[in-house]
Amino acid sequence: MSSFKIGRIFGVDIGVHWSWIFIFAIVTWSFATGVLASVYPQWSSAARWGGGAVIAFIFFISILLHEVSHSVVSNRNGLPVRNITLFVFGGVSNLTREPDTPGLEFWIAIVGPLTSLALGALFAVGWAVSRPFNEELAGISAYLALINVSLAVFNMLPGFPLDGGRVFRSIVWKRNHDRLRATHTASVLGQWIAYGIMGIGILYTFFGGIFAGVWFLIIGFFLRNSSVASYEQLLIESTLSQICVRDMMRTHIHPVGPEMTLEELVHERFLRDDARAFAVVAAGELAGLVTLSDVRKVERDDWSRTSVYRAMTPVARLHTVTPDENLAQVLQLMAKNDVNQLPVLRGRELLGLVTRGDIMRYVHVREDLGEQAARELVHPDGHGGDDDDGLARRSAADLAAPPPGRGGFLRHILPR
Ligand SMILES: [Zn+2]
């Protein structure tokens, strides 16, 4: 995502996606020209635009605090959060992996809406306290209270992967002890919730404000896609976690010798083979790995004078896997280190190579073979189970409650 970093809170990088600027503008504009203008017509235009900007800014802080609360609970429980990104629909906390227990998932998910509720209560107190003295301050506080409560309510909808959907999944998971099945249930409910949101969007488009309507439609669409994608991702990962490296690694790897020149390597190997990396073996042991990008780092004119040994990544700097590791762990390692292949070693003996392309091919072949054949491929001896840890990357998205349009929904709720 093209986002820029704005700081670090509790050791978590905070990023803002450029699309947030759009939301800031929309919220400021819709409050300044819509809600504040009609509820407080006596305010000057400067006060309305200023108020709109203050509301948009604190809205931003509110979403940030919501995300930070997820991170704090997650970090405290040994599940580090990579970063938080704020984007057009709200925020995303990128967890390094999924929670291991339903209990932990429950708390990580529910703390966000609870934080938003607490913020809502705080602004409600601010409204009550400032009302007799300062009408502008009271008005802004009232809307912020309402925004935070809407955020809490919206994110508690039981549509996976919203917070409420995660809470729902954790409850199903706790009952049936099967995360994958629980995710399937939560994902199906998530899709129905998404269709419901789209339905509300259509109603709004015709009978309310077109702006809020379109917003609901987009959010419903987004939620439906993330709901389907989250389940598919978990399905692939849980399938991959049941396949060992030894079952699919490339064993015909034709290693190269360290003294070969890059000229020879390119002409005799890379151009004749579909491999994008070659193991370099000296005296029966792995010495390193040479890839196309290693070759590219050397000037073309120097290829005939440079040995593979000089260009390769030496074994000491390589990440390696054992034949017993599962493919989910392998993908995680590849993602973490941004590599496309890993040598498979037993001790110092090179057994084979596992590449990202081979894993993808494996998944596609299984898909083409169909469900039943695929299941037999995974469970030839009935092992496996609900162990689906090794997740490469997982994100919890939070959706922002729609901004009030001119005919917006806040107007009907807020006391004048
Ligand atoms: Zn949340």
Strand partners, 352: 344
pLDDT above 80: residue 49? yes
pLDDT above 90: residue 404? no
Residue 310 makes CB contacts below 8 A (sequence gap 6+) with none
- Give dist(CA 128, CA 338) in Å, integer: 53
pLDDT above 80: residue 203? yes
Q: Which residue has the tokens 């809307």?
A: 143
State the distance from the centre of ligand 1 to the C-alpha of 254, rounded, in angstroms.
50
State the distance from the centre of ligand 1 to the C-alpha of 158, rounded, in angstroms.
12
Of 336, 394, 398, 397, the residue nearest 98 (C-alpha)? 394
| 414 pLDDT tier (thresholds 50, 70, 90) | very low
Mean pLDDT of 345-363: 85
Kindly state the tokens that stand for 154.
Answer: 């919206």
Q: How many CA atoms lie within 13 A of 59 on its CB side?
A: 32
Kindly state the tokens that stand for 104.
Answer: 């932990």
Whether residue 132 is preceded by a cis peptide bond, meaning omega within 30 degrees of 0, is no
Summarize pLDDT for 184-195 with one digit per residue, the tens. 898 899 999 999
In order of 78, 84, 161, 234, 372, the CA distances from 395 in angstroms are 16, 9, 9, 12, 30
| 374 pLDDT tier (thresholds 50, 70, 90) | low
State the distance from the centre of ligand 1 to the C-alpha of 176, rounded, in angstroms.
24
pTM score of the predicted model = 0.67
Summarize pLDDT for 229-253 with one digit per residue, the tens. 888 877 777 778 888 888 888 888 8
DSSP letters of 359-378?
A: HHHHHHHHHHH-HHHHHHHH
State the distance from the centre of ligand 1 to the C-alpha of 156, rounded, in angstroms.
8
State the distance from the centre of ligand 1 to the C-alpha of 227, rounded, in angstroms.
15
- Give dist(CA 29, CA 26) in Å, integer: 5
Mean pLDDT of 68-89: 83
State the distance from the centre of ligand 1 to the C-alpha of 117, rounded, in angstroms.
12
State the distance from the centre of ligand 1 to the C-alpha of 353, rounded, in angstroms.
40
* DSSP state letter for 340: S
- Give dist(CA 174, CA 103) in Å, integer: 8
| 377 pLDDT tier (thresholds 50, 70, 90) | low
pLDDT above 80: residue 46? yes
Q: Please say whether the beta carbons of 111 and 70 come within 8 A.
A: yes
- Give dist(CA 263, CA 314) in Å, integer: 19
| 396 pLDDT tier (thresholds 50, 70, 90) | low
State the distance from the centre of ligand 1 to the C-alpha of 92, rounded, in angstroms.
8
State the distance from the centre of ligand 1 to the C-alpha of 67, rounded, in angstroms.
6
Within 10 Å of residue 377's Cβ, how many Cβ atoms?
Answer: 16
State the distance from the centre of ligand 1 to the C-alpha of 44, rounded, in angstroms.
36
Helix (H) or strand (E) holding 82: strand 81-87
State the distance from the centre of ligand 1 to the C-alpha of 339, rounded, in angstroms.
32
Kindly state the tokens that stand for 87.
Answer: 């984007």
In order of 23, 236, 250, 360, the CA distances from 366 in angstroms are 42, 11, 17, 10
Summarize pLDDT for 27-40 with one digit per residue, the tens. 888 888 877 777 77
Burial class of residue 188 in the structure, from the number of CB atoms within 10 Å of its CB (0-12 exposed, 13-18 middle, 19+ buried): middle
User: What is the average pLDDT score of the chain?
Assistant: 81
State the distance from the centre of ligand 1 to the C-alpha of 383, rounded, in angstroms.
36
- Give dist(CA 23, CA 89) in Å, integer: 8
Kindly state the tokens that stand for 109.
Answer: 């998910």
3-state secondary structure of 81: strand
More confident residue, 347 or 262: 262
State the distance from the centre of ligand 1 to the C-alpha of 111, rounded, in angstroms.
8
State the distance from the centre of ligand 1 to the C-alpha of 113, rounded, in angstroms.
6
Q: Please say whether the beta carbons of 374 and 243 come within 8 A.
A: no
Interhelix angle for 327-337 vs 356-369, to 10°?
A: 140
pLDDT confidence of residue 373: 58
Of 295, 291, 259, the residue nearest 278 (C-alpha)? 291
State the distance from the centre of ligand 1 to the C-alpha of 112, rounded, in angstroms.
4
pLDDT above 50: residue 364? yes
Q: In the sheet where 285-291 sits, what is the strand order?
A: 277-282, 285-291, 313-314
State the distance from the centre of ligand 1 to the C-alpha of 75, rounded, in angstroms.
15
State the distance from the centre of ligand 1 to the C-alpha of 140, rounded, in angstroms.
23
State the distance from the centre of ligand 1 to the C-alpha of 316, rounded, in angstroms.
41
State the distance from the centre of ligand 1 to the C-alpha of 124, rounded, in angstroms.
21
State the distance from the centre of ligand 1 to the C-alpha of 77, rounded, in angstroms.
17
More confident residue, 241 or 309: 309
Summarize pLDDT for 121-155 with one digit per residue, the tens. 999 999 999 888 887 788 888 888 998 998 899 88
State the distance from the centre of ligand 1 to the C-alpha of 385, rounded, in angstroms.
29
What structural domains does the chain harbor?
3-176+393-413 (no CATH), 245-378 (3.10.580.10)
In order of 298, 379, 404, the CA distances from 183 in angstroms are 48, 21, 33
State the distance from the centre of ligand 1 to the C-alpha of 203, rounded, in angstroms.
27
Summarize pLDDT for 314-343 with one digit per residue, the tens. 988 889 999 999 888 888 888 778 888 899
State the distance from the centre of ligand 1 to the C-alpha of 107, rounded, in angstroms.
11
